[in-house]
Amino acid sequence: MRNIETTTINTIRILSAEGIQKAKSGHPGLPMGAAPMAYELWANHMKHNPSDPNWINRDRFILSAGHGSMLLYSLLHLFGYGLTIEDLQEFRQWGSKTPGHPEFGHTVGVDTTTGPLGAGFATGIGMAMAEANLAAKFNKDEYKIVDHYTYAIAGDGCMMEGITSEAASLAGTLKLGKFIAFYDSNKITIEGSTDITFTEDVGKRYEAYGWQVLQVEDGNDLEAIGKAIEDAKADLEHPSLIIVKTQIGYGCPAKQGKSSAHGEPLGDDNIIETKKNLELPLDKEFHVPEEVYDHMKALKEKGNKEQVKWNELFKEYAAKYADLAKEWEIWTSEELQVDLLNNEELWTFDNKPSATRAISGQIINKLTKYIPNLFGGAADLAPSTKTYMNDKGDFSAEDYSGMNLHFGVRELAMSAMANGIALHGAHKPFVATFFVFSDYIKPSVRLSALMKLPVTYVLTHDSIGVGEDGPTHQPIEQLAALRSMPNVVTFRPADPRETAAAWYYAITSKETPTAIVLTRQNVPYYEESEKKALKGGYVLLDSDKETPDMILMASGSEVECIYEAAKKLKQDGIDVRVVSMPSMDVFDAQSQEYKESVLPNNVRKRVAIEAAATFGWYKYVGLDGEVIGLDHFGASAPAARVFEEFGITTGNVYEVAKKVYAK
């Protein structure tokens, strides 16, 4: 009688290959080579319950090499997560539950969307950070209610990507022993052997990062893989990298170990030859032997028992530590426990000029009183981005209970880790850097948007107001780039109340990441600003006429230019409406009636100004209006001089408005 585990692994290989063959598209090599390590992990070491895929104390699994998605889909089918054989047959097809790369929220059992290589690896380290913080906060010696691991399978491509190095370096510093990565070392990429581009000793690199490095010489040796997993789990002082030497496309005689197995279907004839080689029926497609299904049922029940045991433990915990259990409910609830919209403390500020980054810092520290699970920090810039939470402690290897995160100069990994924290559950994450470096975080912001994760991105030093640092540090096109991204809300507030509105929107969002873009230089406090900023755009200062002579609009620091220009124009008999537009995304989502009330169609004379690219403003000013902006890079000089030289001034708004009015 054949070993049931071998039969199951070979079934995973063939299901993966057949799904790809039917789609005529996909990557069979990784699923066929990595099937043994994935099976051994899921069957014998990973704590998960297919009956409740969202159980908070489950182990997390990430296929960082997401192009091998048929491996994950085959596992989800066999382990009973609800994917059917028909779903596997619809791989990469319109509307299917089995898209080309795993998508969180789309397919049950997928713990994260893994897009660019390495992003999943870094996201997993964010999950491990969340687990460590929750364990430090809630666990008691006899009640480890937070006690789980995060596992990832990464390939040669993941190991080459910079995001993986950033994340691994921080994980080693933080001693995140509950993060365990498998390196599927098959030495093949699309272009051929890794010897072309990648000859370093990965194990030594990870040892230098402070990781435990384990080696499995034969990727089919379940006993060796199992021992490595248990050794990794036993070392809580170091994250672990298990280097598993595999053969890409294992089982296919014509393609095993070759780059042609990586990213193209095997071909019908090769599928037949692979089935012969793996001793599976030749005349059946997408076939799972009954003994495999029976075997998987027993494994599924094991996960259910684990959760039942945890439920009993938590019940005892809640009886003994009622206050902590109540706090656990607050942390794990999506709902805020306080009415922040009507909380006067959040909306009340001194009426003196301040930088919106400084105002944001005040708001963050107000929010910590009401939101205990606010968890975040900056890429080595907290003093500049004003994102440090007072009296909340620092998250470190010595103390995981701190709520301030220090990411070091690692913007790309930071944003992926923020996604991991949000995906894990029980935290409200925020991260921060200079706005110009949003170019570094953008791939993971895009994943936040795809996964509908309410991560808050605090982005300061928002314009040429950076001054002497010069064009390399002055964002120009970044606002347009963020505004163009689906399901991302960008706020660029003009004063304290608008900054509070931005934070309120971010902290109450459930399916949208929010970018809050903030000034380095001081801006005025406007008596007229209001919570209506939550509508994205509103009338800050209205004309005395029922129909204004013209409309001036701006965001952020340039609202001061239109506010003051309106006063000068009124002296010339031109009565204008001043519209503050902190968020185009939110304004565009309002009703047509509201948008018409702010920007009436019959007022065609319009001027907009923003210290950034003009792209995006023309939908508001129309053919008869003008946009003042920067469709070029900045310069190094004191901020006031740079603004003056590039026409981001009250005087220039006044002159341009006069010309538009005279048309």
Residues facing residue 193 across a β-bridge? 188
Task: Count other C-beta atoms under 10 Å from residue 291's C-beta.
Answer: 13
Tokens describing residue 446: 């895009």
Q: Are 265 and 249 in contact (CB under 8 A)?
A: no
Q: Are 245 and 218 in contact (CB under 8 A)?
A: yes
Question: 88 to each of 53, 153, 233, 443, how far by Cα in Å?
Answer: 19, 21, 32, 28
Q: Are 254 and 270 in contact (CB under 8 A)?
A: yes
Radius of gyration of the CA atoms of the chain, in A: 28
Tell me the three state secondary structure of residue 80: coil
Question: What gap in Å lies between CA 7 and CA 147, rounded to an integer?
Answer: 32
Looking up tokens 């049922």 gives: 297
Catalytic residue status for 411: yes
Looking up tokens 């993060």 gives: 179
Between helix 650-662 and helix 559-571 the angle, nearest 10°, is 50
Tell me the three state secondary structure of residue 523: strand
**Nearest in space to 515 (alpha carbons), one of 588, 432, 597:** 432
Concatenated DSSP letters for 207-263? Answer: HHHT-EEEEES-TT-HHHHHHHHHHHHH--SS-EEEEEE--TTTT-TTTTTSGGGTS
- Measure CA 506 to chain center: 14
Tell me the three state secondary structure of residue 613: coil
Which strand (E) or helix (H) includes residue 168? helix 162-174
Question: What gap in Å lies between CA 49 and CA 521, rounded to an integer?
Answer: 52
Q: Of the residues 90, 161, 166, 411, which is catalytic?
A: 411
Tell me the three state secondary structure of residue 185: strand
Residue at 83: amino acid letter: L
Tokens describing residue 657: 């408005």
Q: Are 241 and 212 in contact (CB under 8 A)?
A: yes
**Nearest in space to 54 (alpha carbons), one of 105, 128, 114, 88:** 105
Annotated active-site positions, please? 411
